[in-house]
Amino acid sequence: SQQGEEDPQALSIQEGENATMNCSYKTSINNLQWYRQNSGRGLVHLILIRSNEREKHSGRLRVTLDTSKKSSSLLITASRAADTASYFCASGSYNTDKLIFGTGTRLQVFP
């Protein structure tokens, strides 16, 4: 299977804490993307990092990419109860329209 993997599968934290999710992928990539999914809904794109970038920020989100280890991490700082959702990474390769999604991390933020 080409599917990516994420860990942890589930994460529970208190409001105000930071949440870190990790993603590993298997092929050479053009970019790595992170998506969020609220329960029973569609996915929403959060951030895209290109293969020649090492770190990217967007608001309270920080994404890192290590192509030598084929891994990425998503850090959500100062988490809020509204951040409760599942988070998926997706790798995009050259010469393809497809993304390969990871299995997701379920984040629960307690008020």
Q: Residue numbers of the site for other proteins (CB under 8 A)?
A: 2-4, 30-31, 33, 35, 40-45, 48, 88, 90-94, 96-99, 101-104
How far is C-alpha 91 from the geometric centre of its chain's CA atoms?
Answer: 10
105 is written with which tokens? 């991390």
Name the E strands within the chain.
Answer: 5-7, 10-14, 19-24, 31-37, 43-50, 55-58, 61-66, 71-76, 85-92, 99-101, 105-110
CB-nearer residue toward other proteins: 51 or 73: 51
Closest approach of other proteins to the CB of residue 31, in Å: 6
CB-nearer residue toward other proteins: 19 or 29: 29
Closest approach of other proteins to the CB of residue 111, in Å: 26
CB-nearer residue toward other proteins: 31 or 73: 31
Beta-bridged to residue 66, according to DSSP, are: 71
